[in-house]
Amino acid sequence: MSHPNLIRLKKHVEQAVGQFLNQWPEGVGDGLYDPIHYLMQLRGKQLRAVMALSAAEAEGQHFSEAMPVALGVELFHNFTLMHDDIMDAAPIRRGKETVHVKWNENAAILSGDAMYTLSHIALSELNPSYVPAALKLFNRTALEVCLGQQSDMAFESRQNVRVDEYLEMIRLKTSVLVAASLALGAIAAGSSEERVKIWYELGEQLGLAFQMQDDLLDTFGGDAVGKQIGGDILSDKKTFLRIHAWENGDDAVRQTLRNWDGNRTDPVSKIEAVRSSMIQAGSDTAAKAVMTTQIDRAKACIDQLQLTEDHAEWFRYLASLVTQRDS
């Protein structure tokens, strides 16, 4: 069962997104905004936006104070998904056609650019006293996400990617936005720099755990996750599982991975062979162990913030949600 806070805050996020995008309705601008409405209406869990609101509440402010940053991170996150799907040639997002498939790549690129701009417009509605600090963090985060995506693409042509390099890549590509969501919520609440840093660390560890679980779901999850299963394997992506298997597997494991690299003639057999090699190398177990460590560090940050029991329980729930999600 979903946590009452998740249901409550997600509802407020959905209402705010709808009201905000009504300023740029479908059918206007020769269809520029249509893909934005389409992607936003698919509605993921909206955890980043919910986290921003939750941090503001935990810092003693009404969630509405952080709604501008919640909208900003939600729009920015979906912008990155729209562009990532093009680069990954992904056919499915949240169980539906990706934007570049439903329209075309040019439409997805341009609507994504518009979405990025809208994220800044949303953020600008924050209390003016907090805009400079929020904008500095938001823009730094946006650049880091781009750096992470660039590293992810660069890894595709490298055989010798190390686990530590991969962890830094996912920190940039995924974790910093989760971290910024909590930190921005704290900034919107007028929190001290010291507390903002702890909120950031909490989000960073949650984001790392989130991506580790994402790797596991992509390789071992079922159809319920709403995305193409085995997509990382088919595209030869250097995930933690793939890198760990290469570093820790025996000669047979490495030969299997080498044989299937670049081979797309039999997708079903490729997924099964590479998945089996990962299990043989203990990569699935290793990924779960790393994820558990990250969650433990996140819980230590929750303790350090000395929140009320209700708020502490809620953030512990969010931490568990990362590792138990199925979509």
pLDDT digits (tens, 9 = 90+) for 98-113: 999 999 999 999 999 9
Predicted local distance difference test score (pLDDT) of residue 177: 97
Q: Which CATH class is domain 4-324?
A: mainly alpha
Predicted local distance difference test score (pLDDT) of residue 231: 84
Q: At what angle do helices 309-324 and 193-220 cross, to 10 degrees?
A: 30
Mean pLDDT by 10 residues, the chain (327 residues): 87 97 96 97 90 98 98 97 93 94 97 98 98 98 97 86 95 96 98 98 95 90 58 88 96 95 91 96 96 95 97 91 61
Predicted local distance difference test score (pLDDT) of residue 57: 98
Q: Residue 266 is which amino acid?
A: D
- Report residue 96: phi and psi, to 5°: -125, 165
Predicted local distance difference test score (pLDDT) of residue 323: 66
**Helix (H), strand (E), coil (C) string for the chain:** CCCHHHHHHHHHHHHHHHHHHCCCCCCCCCCCCHHHHHHHHHCCCCHHHHHHHHHHHHCCCCHHHHHHHHHHHHHHHHHHHHHHHHHHCCCEECCEECHHHHCCHHHHHHHHHHHHHHHHHHHCCCCHHHHHHHHHHHHHHHHHHHHHHHHHHHHCCCCCCCHHHHHHHHHHHHHHHHHHHHHHHHHHCCCCHHHHHHHHHHHHHHHHHHHHHHHHHHHHCCHHHCCCCCHHHHCCCCCHHHHHHHHHCCHHHHHHHHHHCCCCCCHHHHHHHHHHHHHHCCHHHHHHHHHHHHHHHHHHHHHHHCCCHHHHHHHHHHHHHHHHCCC
Predicted local distance difference test score (pLDDT) of residue 224: 39
1-10 pLDDT, tens digit per residue, is 478 999 999 9
Predicted local distance difference test score (pLDDT) of residue 221: 78
Predicted local distance difference test score (pLDDT) of residue 320: 83
Predicted local distance difference test score (pLDDT) of residue 249: 96
CB 236 within 8 A of CB 261: yes
